[in-house]
Structure 1
């Protein structure tokens, strides 16, 4: 397993750290503790981290503009004022189903936002993947157990997603202008052991960077599914990556202590912390979410 220079960005432990993203305009990283109902805000230029308490189980967000974010939560999509934290419901998301919550999500280059849901106890097949497109939620895939690894090729013609319940990473052709599927998904990577396929992000060259839950690492794959590298993360339950920094050359990685017994925590002293790995590659900025209904 490869080692790269690694620092702890935030020592506060997350029960279930997830959903990292980066706003280059303000040099700010954002991520969630889903179970803890907390949103983390870290200014990379100063190292200052602010923790915001949420009244919902947030799991991901996308930037709308300089002042607004679209926050994905267990009961809906909220427009959040990034200056004062005020939130307004934009659209409900499976709000009539108490058994599910949101999970992984990422914005397509077109501005369409893909969003996954899952059972609160990871019940088999209870989740789905949606696309927020032109102000409406479209259900793309049903019978997902744990949606993860939602990410896209730089030109927007390929989408990726995983069902961690099956431990399969899928690839699907997309309409670059809309971010919607143009065909059926096909299995790209299947992991048999050594951890689960979790969150992922794609760099500027189209290479996939995938966190391995239970493996304490980032696996790197070509667009064809060829394994290229494995990079160590200092926490066993690494959950999701995002490229950060003004040159996007570093990788923020969240982690979690969900489901860990006390002896497992002792054996994994950095469990639940959030890290920055100096991977020295060229990432890319996250697109803004488009809310237009026209």
Structure 2
């Protein structure tokens, strides 16, 4: 049975982002990196000081991961690129789906072996989106097709299961994951939310194998156990909850991104802090944000 728990929730940054997304924890610098997709910004937030700065990367930016000292790998609209976090220089890597102008790259994350996984989304809500894996040797692999909005990637602590959300379908899928080859097989429905009015967005996983999924239009983050059962619901004061990750030196602080895009004036007045960055202290330890190994 699910519990509705009111952890002490803190608005750690009044960012008013249009589409805050993709938070990752940089354990080497104790910083949170996150993106504001439509404002073309990669943000760097220091929880110790409350200071936030950002890089304008000149394009839609859907996802990021650390890629060594002072460098991030990014999924921009139709290509991957590196960002130098000292100079702000953007270095293109390769194009993806440039022949599909109605698509753009969306959520992404590194697996524990340092491979960067990126999903795309179709603006037409037709199943024209895909999931890719970019390896350290520079090779790009198509891992899944027939998606609408690829979202919420994650790996179980034992690295045997890969999770992927397709937001318009209101489902989180599970796959068997081969950590050596990076292959995924045997897709099945892990969570079915078609009875709800909200959609699963970004997710993170804790060390116990529970999945914490941000709910777009849901005003909450839901924690599912490894069987796909809802066991916890964390309410937020904003409707468009987009993603979350564990951070802090003990990986027990859950950082949550939100959005304001598309809200009417009346809705913004009701949820004034839409687009801000939130944090709460949990009683579990999360899995780390993995580095791109190149």
> TM-score range, shorter-chain basis?
over 0.9
Note if 1:132 corresponds to 2:168. no
The 3-state SS of whatever aligns with 1:258 is: coil
Q: Distance in 1 between matches of 2:154 and 2:32?
A: 18
The 3-state SS of whatever aligns with 2:186 is: coil
Q: TM-score, length-normalised on structure 1?
A: 0.95
CA contact 1:122–1:146 (8 Å) conserved in 2: no
Q: CA deviation at 1:31?
A: 0.7
Which residue of structure 2 lines up, in the alignment, with residue 76 of structure 1? 79
The 3-state SS of whatever aligns with 1:266 is: helix
Unaligned residue ranges in structure 2 (runs of 5+): none
Which residue of structure 1 lines up, in the alignment, with residue 213 of structure 2? 210
Q: CA deviation at 1:77?
A: 0.7
Aligned alpha-carbon RMSD (Å): 1.3
CA contact 2:20–2:258 (8 Å) conserved in 1: yes
Note if 1:162 corresponds to 2:165. yes
Which residue of structure 2 lines up, in the alignment, with residue 14 of structure 1? 17
Q: Residues 13-46 of structure 1: CA distance to partner in whole angstroms, max 9, x if unpaired?
A: 1111111101011011011111111111101221
CA contact 2:202–2:242 (8 Å) conserved in 1: yes
Q: Distance in 2 between matches of 1:174 and 1:284?
A: 17
Q: Distance in 2 between matches of 1:39 and 1:228?
A: 33
Q: CA deviation at 1:122?
A: 4.9
121-130 vs 97-106, which moves further? 121-130
Which residue of structure 1 lines up, in the alignment, with residue 116 of structure 2? 113
Which residue of structure 2 lines up, in the alignment, with residue 150 of structure 1? 153
Note if 1:277 corresponds to 2:280. yes
In the alignment of these two chains, the number of paired residues is 289
Q: TM-score, length-normalised on structure 2?
A: 0.95
Q: Return the match for 2:190 from 188, 191, 195.
A: 188
Note if 1:224 corresponds to 2:227. yes
Note if 1:233 corresponds to 2:215. no
Q: Distance in 1 between matches of 2:70 and 2:277?
A: 25
Which residue of structure 1 lines up, in the alignment, with residue 57 of structure 2? 54
The 3-state SS of whatever aligns with 2:21 is: strand
207-216 vs 59-68, which moves further? 59-68
Q: Return the match for 1:265 from 256, 261, 268.
A: 268
Q: CA deviation at 1:159?
A: 0.2
Q: Distance in 2 between matches of 1:245 and 1:233?
A: 20
Unaligned residue ranges in structure 1 (runs of 5+): none
Which residue of structure 2 lines up, in the alignment, with residue 96 of structure 1? 99
Which residue of structure 2 lines up, in the alignment, with residue 37 of structure 1? 40
The 3-state SS of whatever aligns with 2:179 is: coil
Q: Distance in 1 between matches of 2:63 and 2:145?
A: 20
The 3-state SS of whatever aligns with 1:169 is: strand
CA contact 2:131–2:145 (8 Å) conserved in 1: yes
